[in-house]
Amino acid sequence: MRAPGRPRPLPGGRDRGAALYEVLIALVLMGLVSLAVFAAFKAGDTAWATSVQFVAEQQNARMLLNTVSRAVRMVGYQYTGGNPPVIDGQSSSLAFYADIDGDGTIECYRYYLNGTTVYEAVVQGAACASSILTAAGAPLTAANEAQSLAVNNLTFTYYSAADLGGALLSAPLSTGNAYLARRIDVSVTVRGVKSAGPPFTIATQAVFRVGR
């Protein structure tokens, strides 16, 4: 006699197992679930990597801006010549006299944008002003480990006073305005090469360390 609750055996004395098509359906469903989980994990991992890269690019952009603005604050430092300390003041480039390295010798410096890279040119000697505008510079972005940055714009804005009440001086600076300049606002617009994020702009004010 069959025990109560025991399933009735199929003809032939064997219990029915899962059919082949049921096994295949189960495998397909498991595969789809696995793909969905993997895709979600991959998307999260990519978003995290992009976010980290974007933060690194912002830090590199600030490093680049700080390098330029620190130099701009030294415009005319230890310079006692008869010409204005600003040799050439354009909206996208700046050349000036200064002793930035503190060695007692006046050098000519120039910061400019070429393509998508910011360059620094340095020329020594009493006649440095005659060659600084054509001297080849070294790329600042590479020196500051910001190779992943593409600089779209480098902008210098000139003012006649160190505070916000100073008059705006039109660029390029005339000889008279070059004497009046006391503050330069520096801004850079950059975009990341690796993160493919949107361009962003950062800016700062650079007040000359010494006036004339």
According to the model, what pLDDT value does residue 143 have? Answer: 47
Question: Is residue 1 classed as helix, strand or coil in its secondary structure?
Answer: coil
pLDDT digits (tens, 9 = 90+) for 131-142: 999 999 999 865
According to the model, what pLDDT value does residue 194 have? Answer: 66
CA–CA separation, 9 vs 116, rounded Å? 80
- Name the nearest CA neighbour of 187 among 107, 96, 94, 121: 94
SS3 content of the chain, % helix, strand, coil (to 5): 30, 30, 40
Count Cβ atoms within 10 A of the Cβ of residue 128 and give its class: 0-12 exposed, 13-18 middle, 19 or more buried. buried
pLDDT digits (tens, 9 = 90+) for 146-160: 456 789 999 999 999
Q: CA dihedral defined by 160, 93, 129, 162, rounded to 10 degrees? A: 20
Indicate if the alpha-carbon torsion angle 131, 147, 75, 79 is positive or negative: negative
- Segments making up each domain of the chain, as ranges: 51-207
Mean pLDDT of the chain: 82
* Predicted confidence (pLDDT) at residue 204 exceeds the cutoff of 90: yes
List, in sequence order, every residue forming a beta bridge with 139; answer none if it has no partner. Answer: 119
DSSP 159: E
CA–CA separation, 192 vs 57, rounded Å? 6
* Predicted confidence (pLDDT) at residue 3 exceeds the cutoff of 60: no
